[in-house]
Structure 1
Amino acid sequence: MPSIATIDPALKAAGIVGTWNTNVPAALSVLDEGAARLLAGNVDLAGRPIPLDIALGRTHPDDRDWVFDRIRRVRRTGGSTSTEFRIVTETGEVRWILNRGYLAADANGVMRGRGAYIDTTDTHRGPFLVVGAEQPDKPDPLIEAVDRCIDAHKAVSRVGDRGL
């Protein structure tokens, strides 16, 4: 499974380093070559179903708990996910990665997800630092508010009253 970033130079220029797809009930993800190389640290894992702790094996130790908590939450609820976190490369370099994707039930009711990893390290090196990036373990209030709005929308939708 080749990396999408190596196939399309425009995607590479945009910072996309790889893609993922997840079978939530099986708790397994499949990474393309770029994601397997950068996030798992082993390109030979590309195209093979692997558990989260292997797929994101290079997650920075200070980010690991909150990143995995956020992933577990979206695996329960479905919907959009957007998480920016740090990884540590094989040379010890710290890089920032934005994980964007969407999880939903397929035609058989099985929760599945697809997404991409984007290297955002360059946005953390200049004068425009993302708010809260200096404290990645501190929850972002905007993300928490969005999560609660999504939960409220789902609850109201289950009622079936379009007027709500």
Structure 2
Amino acid sequence: MPLAQPTPTLLSALEASGSLGTWETDLASGTVYPSRRFAEFLGLNAHRAAGGVPLGAVLNSVHEADRERVGALVHEAHRTAGRFEAEFRTLGRGGATHWVAARGQIGPDARGRGLRCRGIVVDLTGTRQPASGHADAQTRVLNQLAETVMAARRMADTLDVSVLHTLLDLLLFEVGRELTKAVRATEGGLH
């Protein structure tokens, strides 16, 4: 069972965005509790995954070209009770590939050893697929993400969960950084 859960209202807001998911990992058991949306990104049955899945099942859902790198980052974060940050592809249902950005923080126990990892994942697929009007589509997706994350951050302000505040702030920073790159690319194409 997860060690703690964000409020149902905040989880509902994150899930409703269609682009955001969350997870919590119990490091002692190696069990990951993905949100419904993150489970979908991973191609896992969301109902079954809600009860927890082994970390190995999550890593097996990472695209084979990214799996070793992501596994090493996960294990390093768990070993050092540090942060986890990565962009990678997942294998969704029906073979659909999703590009995601994941950010997590390890919560240590009294001795400084990793106890749990909580994180947030953003679906970047729409920003990674080339198409006509790609720059405009990318900017639209990033603007929607920024609005969703800002709304989630406002909701999180009512909670006393500092790791959630930090993760949402980091996510907003990353979305802003990507939005800046997209706008610069669009402006560069206009000259």
Q: Per the shorter chain, which TM-score range?
A: 0.5 to 0.7
Contact 2:99 2:123 in 1 (8 A): yes
Per-residue deviation at 1:59?
1.2
Q: How far apart are residue 103 of structure 1 and its match? A: 0.4
Q: What is the CA-CA distance between 1:123 and the residue it aligns to?
A: 2.0
TM-score (norm 2): 0.56
2:118 corresponds to which of 111, 114, 117: 114
Q: Which runs of 4+ in 1 moved over 6 A?
A: 1-6
CA distance in 1: counterparts of 2:126 and 2:43, whole angstroms: 21
Letter in 2 for 1:106: D
The Cα RMSD (Å) is 3.1
Q: Are 2:127 and 1:123 aligned? A: yes
Q: Offset at 1:122?
A: 1.9
Query: Post-superposition shift, 1:84?
Result: 0.6
Q: Which amino acid in structure 1 is aligned with residue 122 of structure 2?
A: I
Task: Give the C-alpha shift of residue 33 in structure 1.
Answer: 1.7
Give the C-alpha shift of residue 70 in structure 1.
Answer: 0.8
Q: Is the 8 A contact 1:36 1:45 kept in 2?
A: no
Contact 1:31 1:55 in 2 (8 A): no
Q: Give the percent of matched residue pairs that are identical in Structure 1 and Structure 2.
A: 27
Which among 51, 75, 87 is matched to residue 84 of structure 1?
87
Question: SS state of the match for residue 25, structure 2?
Answer: strand
Deviations 1:96-146 (A, max 9, x none): 0111110021357552110111101122233599xxxxxxxxxxxxxxxxx
1:57-106 per-residue CA deviation (whole Å, 9 max, x = no partner) reads 42111111111111001000122221110012222222101111100213
TM-score with structure 1 length normalisation? 0.64
Correspondence for 2:13:
8
What is the aligned partner in structure 2 of residue 29 from structure 1? Answer: 32
Confirm or deny: 8 A CA contact 1:37 1:43 kept in the other structure.
Answer: yes
Amino acid at match of 2:101: L
State the one-letter code of the partner of 1:44: H
C-alpha contact 1:102 1:115 (8 A) present in aligned 2: yes
> Contact 1:84–1:98 at 8 Å: present in 2 too?
yes
Looking at structure 1, the residues matched to 16 and 79 of structure 2 have their Cα atoms a distance apart, in angstroms, of 30
* Unaligned stretches of 5+ residues in structure 1: 130-164
In structure 1, distance between residues paired with 2:43 and 2:97: 14
Which runs of 5 or more structure 2 residues have no equivalent in the other structure? Answer: 139-191
